[in-house]
A and B are shown apart, each in its own frame.
Chain A
Amino acid sequence: MRADVPYSIASPVQRVRGTTDVLPVQQRRLRALAEALHERFESFGYEGVDTPILEPLELFLRKSGDEIVARMYAFAHWNRRLCLRPEHTASVMRLFVNEFQGRSLPLRLQYTGPEFRYERPSRGRQRQYTVLGLELIGASGPVADAEVLHLALSGLWAVGLQRYRLVVGHLGVVLQMLRQLGISEHAQGLILDQMEPLARGRLTVDEATTRILGLLGAGADEAAVPSDGAPAFEGLAGLPPDQATALAADLMRRVSLPLEGSARTPHQIIQRLLAKATRADPTERVRRAVAFVARLHEASGEPDRLGALRALVEQNGLSTAPLDEVEAALRFLRAHGSVPNRDDGATWEVDLALARGLRYYTGIVFEVYVDDEGGPLQVCGGGRYDDLIRALGGREAVPASGFAYGLERLALATERGGPTPAASPKVLVVPVAHDDLAVALHVAATLRAAGGMRVEQDVRLRGVKNALRHADRSGIAATVLIGAEERAKGQAIVRGMASREERRVPVEDVVAAVQALAG
């Protein structure tokens, strides 16, 4: 009984939350930024590649880490598990493995395009955003790191940003500490995930520790849950492994617990049960690890004042090699001509607690911020990931590093820095009647060929008055009118829309008249 809703009263379709419609002014700004950056990277030999927005889910499950995976737009389409790419590096490394293995290295690639992450939208954070970045594939060590760092800073200069804060870290120190404490790989991942909120002050040491322990099932508030008899197996754990396993299996058969027919073999289940029974409580080690990360963050500072940081690393019996690597990279970075200019408000900082929410980093990591009254705005992030290509099925381990800018964030940061890139003046060519169209089109073509202006042709032909009103309302700088009389005399009327000055000129002088009147 319900009649179809006529379109005239249908409600408007809204865009998806966290996405943006880019309007012409912003589009121009973004394009100008992208062009300046591409040009800069190209001058260092970085060639452009594009990868699909749609990727197999598996690509990011391999190594990107829980923090990314939990924020992906993932779905099954006709039984294939796909996702919208949440980052570019894994995609570009997949491309390398598919297309470039065996090439002479290093390989320099740059890319741009949208990424998607399901996060709470806020200032400078949308669910679809655009990044522009590069990867230096097949080179390790401070010299390569310095090139990547230099390009990250040099891109900022290319778009007119002198005022920035560079934070450089190295995962090596924290990873050493985690290994030294004998923390399981599972727990290591959880701790790395909490480093970022910890360093940003979103979590205290206690809160981070509690959260990690909760995820590990230790020290959690659900301790009251009966543990299905795991303590009963502690006694078994003292026996030789084979004997213990046999005993446990026998015990379970006697109480007719079904162990067969599951994805896990009885042997695996019993092994894990015994391992669990003997495993030491991780609480203290996790607490020490988190506290160490917090102290590393407190000891962060400018590159030439790292005494306290070095002392902290040494006191904990850890190698200072990662710190040396950072210092070497920064030394080469200066040699590139990148020197922080205090007068511009540029600063460098070394923070060994810096982590980037992605699990695949193995060495130097860095972020660049532009701070303003709205708070710190991270415009760039990157680092070194020497294991990623192997994890994605590469024939051999290939070291690589890279970074990416958030293009919309760069636009936000540069808005205050300067005016919107100027667009050339708009000109409207108006034939008075259909008979005047041929001449009008010819004049429009001549104007476009002259360059330096955008020339529109009136296609509605609703008369001069309407055309002029449209020109007034649409930011058109000059109009060219051609009627029967002008056509007969080989002339055109050029009108400056702001000055309202009109000139009747021979057709061959139209370009000069427009240039004069479009002002």
Chain B
Amino acid sequence: MSLPNGHGGQLRLAIPSKGMEDDTLRFLQACGLRVDRTNPRQYRATMLGLPTGRVEVVFQRATDIFDEVDEGTVDLGITGFDIVAEHRAEDDDIVIVHGELGYQNCALVLAVPEGWVDVADVSDLAEVTADLRGAGRELRVATKYVNLTRQFLYDRGMTHFVLVEVSGALEAAPSLDTADVISDLTSSGVTLRENRLKTIGGGTVVRSQACLIGNRVALQASAHKLEATRCLLELIEAHLRARQHVSLTANIVGDSADAVAARVVAAGGQSLGLRGPTVARVYPKDAHGEGGAAWWAVTVVVSEAVLLPSVEALRRAGATDVSATQVRYVFEHRSWTFEALKRHLGQAAAVS
């Protein structure tokens, strides 16, 4: 059994052990964090890569991680936002440290039988619910997400339904006539279609992806854990930001650094680079050739979305060859998610 986790000690992080495990380890690695496990069957490990020291890692089921973090047996946990949204309570000790880790994307959606050709959106479903009620029946909704589904239906004017607990495959419930419709997680929609179900307009209950949650009390009580969390967030945030950026380097001939920079800016406008181009002198192998014309290396970091337009702009500015490298991190002058976390913890402290 686990030892009581006091306010001191190392930061403890729970990582999902099934389904999400590979993606999570890959994500942490991309952030520069290495999880060391003596053997893959062990449920304890150590994470290296933070300047604040090693982090104790435990592997748990994604659904249990919420409870572990809430009870404070671990300080931080990575789990699906769908689980957090479903299990949250008004007086829980959970704080969302980072809500969008960018993987494990899926959505909790309402799906109805394909044969319900008259049901195109949620308001149709509301009307069908009312019709069924008139016939003395209630709409049966199969789901494992009772809280989210109930609230979603309430918010859309449906109150005459019954949530059905189904063991096994949810998608089969309508064809087995144990439910009329389902509310289930989907990422591609393939399973729904295979079971002759369809999503309906406005029927997305919640969009989900992996997220990082923390125990409010533990983070408030320990400066060390909060600092370790800040370092973790710095890496995560800079990595996520970097995923959308490419660093371009081009060689351009020019009279001076200023002249080259002016040409690049004129060709690329404001869209070129996070701040603007960096221009550095290139010292040619043959220092006496080329009749005095100097070469300059121009470096810009651009959003992946404008990669080709940026290359074009550099060409217009006289670039002959352009190399592009994936950026590993993009740090801004502070971690915004950590600022948000601090504000949140501060407010919570002021209230309690």
Interface residues of A (CB under 8 A from B): 1-2, 14, 17, 61, 66, 69-70, 81, 185-186, 190, 214-218, 220, 222, 225-230, 252, 257-264, 266, 268-270, 272-273, 276
Q: Which of A190, A217, A258 contacts B121 (CB 8 A)?
A: A217
- Residue pair A220, B2 in contact (C-beta under 8 Å): no
- Residue pair A225, B202 in contact (C-beta under 8 Å): yes
The minimal Cβ–Cβ distance linking B222 to chain A, given in whole angstroms, is 18
Chain B residues near A2: list those with CB within 8 A. 1-4
Query: Is B71 interfacial (CB-CB < 8 Å)?
Result: no
Residue-wise interface mask of B (107-143) relative to A, using a CB-CB cutoff of 8 A (1 in contact, 0 not): 0000001111111111110111011100001001000
- Residue pair A215, B123 in contact (C-beta under 8 Å): yes
Chain A residues near B90: list those with CB within 8 A. 17
Q: A2-B3, A186-B127, A272-B131 are in contact. Are A262 and B121 (CB under 8 A)?
A: no
> Which partner residue on chain A sits nearest B123 by CB separation?
A217
- Residue pair B121, A252 in contact (C-beta under 8 Å): no
Query: Is B88 interfacial (CB-CB < 8 Å)?
Result: no
Query: Is B281 interfacial (CB-CB < 8 Å)?
Result: no
> Which partner residue on chain B sits nearest A228 by CB separation?
B120
23 A/B residue pairs, CB under 8 Å, sorted by A: A2-B1, A17-B90, A61-B159, A66-B157, A186-B126, A186-B127, A190-B157, A215-B123, A217-B122, A225-B121, A225-B200, A225-B201, A225-B202, A226-B120, A228-B120, A252-B117, A258-B113, A260-B115, A261-B177, A262-B177, A263-B137, A263-B177, A272-B127
The minimal Cβ–Cβ distance linking A286 to chain B, given in whole angstroms, is 13
Closest 4 CB pairs of A and B: A217-B123, A225-B201, A70-B154, A273-B118
- Residue pair A215, B118 in contact (C-beta under 8 Å): no
- Residue pair A220, B202 in contact (C-beta under 8 Å): yes
Complex alpha-carbon distance, A440 and B118, angstroms: 84
- Residue pair A220, B123 in contact (C-beta under 8 Å): yes
Chain A residues near B130: list those with CB within 8 A. 185-186
The minimal Cβ–Cβ distance linking B45 to chain A, given in whole angstroms, is 20
Query: Is B196 interfacial (CB-CB < 8 Å)?
Result: yes
Chain A residues near B4: list those with CB within 8 A. 2
Query: Is B180 interfacial (CB-CB < 8 Å)?
Result: yes
The minimal Cβ–Cβ distance linking A9 to chain B, given in whole angstroms, is 11
Query: Is B91 interfacial (CB-CB < 8 Å)?
Result: yes
With most chain A CB atoms within 10 A of its CB, the pick from B113, B156, B159 is: B159
The minimal Cβ–Cβ distance linking B136 to chain A, given in whole angstroms, is 11
Known pairs A217-B127, A263-B180, A264-B132. 14 more at Cβ < 8 A? A1-B3, A61-B159, A61-B160, A70-B155, A215-B123, A217-B121, A227-B121, A228-B198, A258-B115, A258-B196, A263-B177, A264-B128, A270-B118, A272-B131
The minimal Cβ–Cβ distance linking B216 to chain A, given in whole angstroms, is 15
The minimal Cβ–Cβ distance linking A183 to chain B, given in whole angstroms, is 14
Chain B residues near A228: list those with CB within 8 A. 117, 119-120, 198
- Residue pair A257, B120 in contact (C-beta under 8 Å): no
Complex alpha-carbon distance, A270 and B127, angstroms: 14
Chain A residues near B177: list those with CB within 8 A. 261-263
The minimal Cβ–Cβ distance linking B92 to chain A, given in whole angstroms, is 12
> Which partner residue on chain B sits nearest A251 by CB separation?
B117
- Residue pair B127, A215 in contact (C-beta under 8 Å): no
Q: Which of B2, B118, B122, B202 contacts A230 (CB 8 A)?
A: B118
> Which partner residue on chain A sits nearest B126 by CB separation?
A215
Q: How large is the interface on B (under 10, 10 to 19, 20 to 34, 35 or more residues)?
A: 35 or more
Chain A residues near B116: list those with CB within 8 A. 262, 264, 269
Chain B residues near A66: list those with CB within 8 A. 154, 157-159
The minimal Cβ–Cβ distance linking B215 to chain A, given in whole angstroms, is 14
- Residue pair A222, B117 in contact (C-beta under 8 Å): no
Chain B residues near A272: list those with CB within 8 A. 118, 127-128, 131
- Residue pair B201, A222 in contact (C-beta under 8 Å): yes
Complex alpha-carbon distance, A263 and B201, angstroms: 21
- Residue pair A257, B118 in contact (C-beta under 8 Å): no
Chain B residues near A276: list those with CB within 8 A. 118, 124
Chain A residues near B158: list those with CB within 8 A. 66
The minimal Cβ–Cβ distance linking A267 to chain B, given in whole angstroms, is 12
- Residue pair B2, A217 in contact (C-beta under 8 Å): no
The minimal Cβ–Cβ distance linking B179 to chain A, given in whole angstroms, is 9
Q: Which of A14, A257, A268, A273 contacts B114 (CB 8 A)?
A: A257
Q: A263-B177, A264-B128 are in contact. Are A269 and B159 (CB under 8 A)?
A: no
The minimal Cβ–Cβ distance linking A347 to chain B, given in whole angstroms, is 35
Q: Which of A69, A186, A262 contacts B180 (CB 8 A)?
A: A262
- Residue pair B131, A227 in contact (C-beta under 8 Å): no
Chain A residues near B124: list those with CB within 8 A. 217, 276
The minimal Cβ–Cβ distance linking A163 to chain B, given in whole angstroms, is 35
Chain B residues near A217: list those with CB within 8 A. 121-124, 126-127, 202
With most chain A CB atoms within 10 A of its CB, the pick from B3, B114, B122, B157 is: B157
Q: Which of B1, B117, B119, B175 contacts A257 (CB 8 A)?
A: B117
> Which partner residue on chain A sits nearest B122 by CB separation?
A217
> Which partner residue on chain B sits nearest A185 by CB separation?
B130
Complex alpha-carbon distance, A133 and B284, angstroms: 95
The minimal Cβ–Cβ distance linking B317 to chain A, given in whole angstroms, is 41
- Residue pair B174, A262 in contact (C-beta under 8 Å): yes
Chain A residues near B155: list those with CB within 8 A. 70
The minimal Cβ–Cβ distance linking B152 to chain A, given in whole angstroms, is 11
> Which partner residue on chain A sits nearest B89 by CB separation?
A17
Q: A226-B120, A230-B118 are in contact. Are A263 and B159 (CB under 8 A)?
A: no
Chain B residues near A17: list those with CB within 8 A. 90-91
The minimal Cβ–Cβ distance linking A335 to chain B, given in whole angstroms, is 42
The minimal Cβ–Cβ distance linking B69 to chain A, given in whole angstroms, is 18
Chain A residues near B201: list those with CB within 8 A. 222, 225-227
Q: A17-B90, A17-B91, A261-B175 are in contact. Are A222 and B2 (CB under 8 A)?
A: no
With most chain A CB atoms within 10 A of its CB, the pick from B4, B116, B119, B177 is: B116
The minimal Cβ–Cβ distance linking B144 to chain A, given in whole angstroms, is 15
The minimal Cβ–Cβ distance linking A136 to chain B, given in whole angstroms, is 29
Chain A residues near B154: list those with CB within 8 A. 66, 69-70
Complex alpha-carbon distance, A69 and B129, angstroms: 15
Complex alpha-carbon distance, A264 and B131, angstroms: 10
The minimal Cβ–Cβ distance linking A387 to chain B, given in whole angstroms, is 15
The minimal Cβ–Cβ distance linking A460 to chain B, given in whole angstroms, is 36
Chain A residues near B175: list those with CB within 8 A. 261
Complex alpha-carbon distance, A266 and B113, angstroms: 12
- Residue pair B115, A257 in contact (C-beta under 8 Å): yes
The minimal Cβ–Cβ distance linking A70 to chain B, given in whole angstroms, is 4
- Residue pair B118, A259 in contact (C-beta under 8 Å): no
Complex alpha-carbon distance, A272 and B125, angstroms: 12
Chain B residues near A226: list those with CB within 8 A. 120, 201
Chain B residues near A215: list those with CB within 8 A. 123, 126, 156-157
Chain B residues near A1: list those with CB within 8 A. 1-3
Complex alpha-carbon distance, A258 and B197, angstroms: 10
Complex alpha-carbon distance, A266 and B90, angstroms: 44
With most chain B CB atoms within 10 A of its CB, the pick from A14, A220, A266 is: A220
Complex alpha-carbon distance, A88 and B116, angstroms: 39
Complex alpha-carbon distance, A217 and B158, angstroms: 13
